[in-house]
């Protein structure tokens, strides 16, 4: 099988999406991919971070995670994004990062990437599906090939049955309210599998 490079790219204030991302990293490695865990740069002022102990703690604990760079996007055959739901949409940090990618897009370097996405929200019906669909809208503009999990495995039903991507409800401190580990693993492995098909099919 062709070796694929996977960038697992997340934004997380209180840790829920960091946890989703780290599970995806391990599963993608198990599936044979070369994997990078990368965080989207924080934009919030220091005062805002300091005002929320869970946010401040997570911010401090993840200082060593490298920030995503455009070179990482160029390197990767597939992206797995994990981004919190904010007012039914992706966190602005992620949108800001996407908006810096015009140069790569113009060079055609974002086309044909395999993309899958995950999210968290406080409420089960607080916009999880809308967030994933809105992230994928940007990806269509990049020329991505969306590898949604659909209902391809029983683990996806057990995790709430979101066919667009794994989503998890969380408390105020970013703790998962249910264990979606198996669904994340299925999604990450499927992303690697689809990226392998695409890479082989392109003769790369």
Binding positions for ligand FMN, rule: CB under 6 A: 12-17, 84-88, 120-123, 126-127, 170, 174
Q: Which is nearer to ligand FMN, 14 or 187 (CB)?
A: 14
- The Cα–Cα gap between 119 and 65 comes to 19
Residue 46 Cβ vs ligand FMN, minimum distance, rounded to whole Å: 16
Q: Could you tell me which of 84, 75, 107, 77 has the C-alpha nearest to residue 20?
A: 84
Residue 114 Cβ vs ligand FMN, minimum distance, rounded to whole Å: 23
Distances (CA, A) of 82 to 8, 46, 47, 106: 8, 23, 24, 25
Residue 193 Cβ vs ligand FMN, minimum distance, rounded to whole Å: 26
Q: Which is nearer to ligand FMN, 12 or 181 (CB)?
A: 12
Q: Which is nearer to ligand FMN, 127 or 165 (CB)?
A: 127
Residue 117 near residue 84, CB atoms below 8 Å: no
Residue 127 Cβ vs ligand FMN, minimum distance, rounded to whole Å: 4
- The Cα–Cα gap between 165 and 152 comes to 11
- The Cα–Cα gap between 95 and 11 comes to 11
Q: Could you tell me which of 160, 155, 152, 68 has the C-alpha nearest to residue 119?
A: 160
- The Cα–Cα gap between 3 and 10 comes to 22
Residue 53 Cβ vs ligand FMN, minimum distance, rounded to whole Å: 13
Residue 84 near residue 167, CB atoms below 8 Å: no
Q: Which is nearer to ligand FMN, 12 or 196 (CB)?
A: 12
Residue 21 Cβ vs ligand FMN, minimum distance, rounded to whole Å: 9
Q: Which is nearer to ligand FMN, 145 or 159 (CB)?
A: 159
Q: Which is nearer to ligand FMN, 123 or 178 (CB)?
A: 123
When CB distances to ligand FMN are compared, the closest residue is 126
């Amino acid at each position: 099988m062709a070796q694929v490079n996977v960038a697992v790219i997340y934004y997380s204030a209180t840790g829920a999406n960091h946890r989703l991302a780290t599970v995806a990293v391990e599963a993608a490695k198990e599936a044979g991919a070369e994997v990078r865990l990368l965080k989207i740069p924080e934009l919030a002022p220091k005062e805002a971070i300091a005002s929320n102990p869970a946010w401040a703690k997570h911010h401090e604990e993840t200082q060593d995670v490298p920030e995503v760079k455009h070179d990482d996007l160029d390197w990767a055959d597939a992206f797995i994004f994990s981004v919190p739901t904010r007012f039914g949409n992706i966190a602005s940090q992620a949108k800001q990062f996407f908006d810096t990618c015009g140069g790569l897009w113009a060079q055609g370097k974002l086309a044909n990437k395999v993309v899958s996405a995950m999210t968290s929200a406080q409420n089960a019906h607080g916009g999880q599906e809308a967030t994933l669909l809105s992230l994928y809208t940007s990806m269509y503009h990049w020329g991505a090939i969306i590898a949604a999990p659909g209902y391809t495995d029983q683990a996806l039903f057990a995790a709430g049955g979101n066919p667009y991507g794994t989503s998890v409800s969380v408390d105020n401190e970013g703790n998962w309210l249910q264990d979606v580990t198996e669904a994340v693993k299925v999604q990450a492995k499927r992303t690697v599998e689809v990226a392998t098909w695409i890479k082989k099919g392109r003769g790369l």
